[in-house]
Chain A
Amino acid sequence: MSLLTIAWHSYRGGVGKSLLAVNTAVMLAQLHKKVMIVDFDLRAPSLQTYFQDFSENIDFNRNKSSFTDFLIGASSPEDVIQKTDLVNLEFAISDIEILQKTSKIRTKLSQSGEGKFLAKLFEFIRYCNKMNYDYLLIDCMPGVTFRSLDALVAADQIIVVTRPLKSEIKGLKLMKSECYSKLEGARLTAVMNQVETQKDLNFTPSEHDISIINENIEKISSVLREKPLIPILYTFHRIPFVTERIYIMEEPNHPFSQFIKEFCDLSFKEWEMSKKGSK
């Protein structure tokens, strides 16, 4: 099997999973890899935001089925996959309609047994493998939910995204002991995101706040170092005004694009090795 499934997960929401996952997906496609990215955050999908300005051919008006339709058995994988201007990059969005009270999909989702979604996710992975995708990136729901566990169980590689916040310290500790440690054989790495630097600031932060952030970084790193070790692969520094965009495509010289390139340079070799190992 040459497909590598990478789940992007975090304890809390808002840590930047989608931004990092989408930009990494584009970077991998630029490296001539066939990439699929799926929005598996059924509670608050956001992938469409990134792709809406990316290609004129993308259909967000329900003429194209969503990944949610596939999960409830209403569509085939072919029906939910959308193409982009990049030949090697395809994606599947989740349904925002699920959030509405009148949603028929939501009723169906709540009626189905929990196991069916894991089975469907594995079906999608088998499809991607058959269609010779190199990478399947799954943008997960944060925290512990049945859907986030589905993605973690199915993934070959898990990237834990964290931020230097106090709540992350206990949260990550809990996630490690109750969840990540039980995913035997899964390769776990972490990225620290939105780490503050004092550059570009027009005021001087208080010593107190600086010490809190530094303490949080140290404590989070220490939690990740405990067994089972989750190495921090990369630290993304916070860049002011970075928003939901595909920087790697639209602004290759943007500092965020540079970070993504560095991150991919570090990860790519390991990922390719994993692919060879899983053949």
Chain B
Amino acid sequence: MTNDKINDSLLKEILTEIRKITHQIIEVNGSLKNLTQSLLISPYITPLSATDLNESKDQEIPSSLDIIRLQEHRPGIFQTYKTIQKKDGWVSSQEIAETTTRSRGLESRYLTYLADQGFVIKKRIKSKTDSRATEVLYKIVGVDE
């Protein structure tokens, strides 16, 4: 009987600890979700898994539903997407910024995000003006060079 009582109280303690751990896991999970959400929404934060430069993956061409979903996650990016769609060949963030009349930095961040999500591909080339500098160019996925 005494042993049974000890076992019972031990089991209760273990159960209480498991509950505490479960609550903590739920809290950590919630914090992680919030963190991921803020990375997705803010145009000022470069995603952690940004596409490597010079990488040209064989990707599925995004559909109109993908574009609408993209806009839901990152308001403001639709204009960048449409502008690059209307340009022929490789373009720089500066060229996009001149059309959208927004800052080059913002367009650059949007373009990086578009590259990360598989909407555009990007490459780095040597700058024509400065031999030591490089320039990043972007092109829409599915457009032949």
B67 adjacent to chain A (CB < 8 Å): yes
Q: Which of A90-133 contact B (CB under 8 A)?
A: 113-116, 118-119, 122-123, 125-126, 129-130
A113-B79 contact in complex given A122-B85, A126-B86, C-beta closer than 8 Å: no
Q: Which residue of B lies closest to A150 (CB)?
A: B64
Q: Which of A214-253 contact B (CB under 8 A)?
A: none
A179 to B68, CA, bound (A): 8
A183 adjacent to chain B (CB < 8 Å): yes
B88 adjacent to chain A (CB < 8 Å): yes
Identify which of B71, B76, B86 gathers the most chain A CB atoms within 10 Å of its CB: B86
Tell me the A residues contacting B by CB distance below 8 Å: 1, 113-116, 118-119, 122-123, 125-126, 129-130, 146, 149-150, 152-154, 179, 182-185
B30 adjacent to chain A (CB < 8 Å): no
Cβ contact within 8 Å between B64 and A184: no
23 contacts between A and B (CB under 8 A): A114-B65, A115-B60, A115-B61, A116-B142, A118-B67, A119-B141, A119-B142, A122-B85, A126-B86, A126-B87, A129-B86, A146-B63, A149-B64, A149-B68, A150-B63, A154-B85, A182-B71, A182-B72, A183-B68, A183-B71, A184-B75, A184-B76, A184-B78
Chain A positions within 8 Å of B85 at CB level: 122, 125-126, 154
Chain A positions within 8 Å of B140 at CB level: 119, 122
A185-B82 contact in complex given A116-B142, A130-B88, A153-B68, C-beta closer than 8 Å: yes
A179 to B76, CA, bound (A): 16
Cβ contact within 8 Å between A118 and B63: yes
A125 to B88, CA, bound (A): 11
A259 to B118, CA, bound (A): 46
Chain B positions within 8 Å of A119 at CB level: 61, 140-143
B135 adjacent to chain A (CB < 8 Å): no
Chain B positions within 8 Å of A182 at CB level: 68, 71-72
A122 to B67, CA, bound (A): 13
Task: Determine how close the nearest CB of chain B comes to the CB of A140; give it in whole angstroms.
Answer: 12
Picked from A1, A126, A149, A185, the residue with its CB within 8 Å of the CB of B65 is: A149
Interface size class, chain B: 20 to 34
Chain A positions within 8 Å of B143 at CB level: 119, 123
A113-B61 contact in complex given A119-B142, A122-B140, C-beta closer than 8 Å: yes
Interface of chain A, helix or strand or loop or mixed? helix
Chain B positions within 8 Å of A179 at CB level: 68
Encode B34-59 as 1/0 by CB contact (under 8 A) with A. Answer: 00000000000000000000000000
B66 adjacent to chain A (CB < 8 Å): yes
- The 6 lowest CB-CB distance pairs between A and B, nearest first, are A115-B61, A119-B142, A149-B64, A114-B63, A184-B78, A115-B63
Chain A positions within 8 Å of B76 at CB level: 184
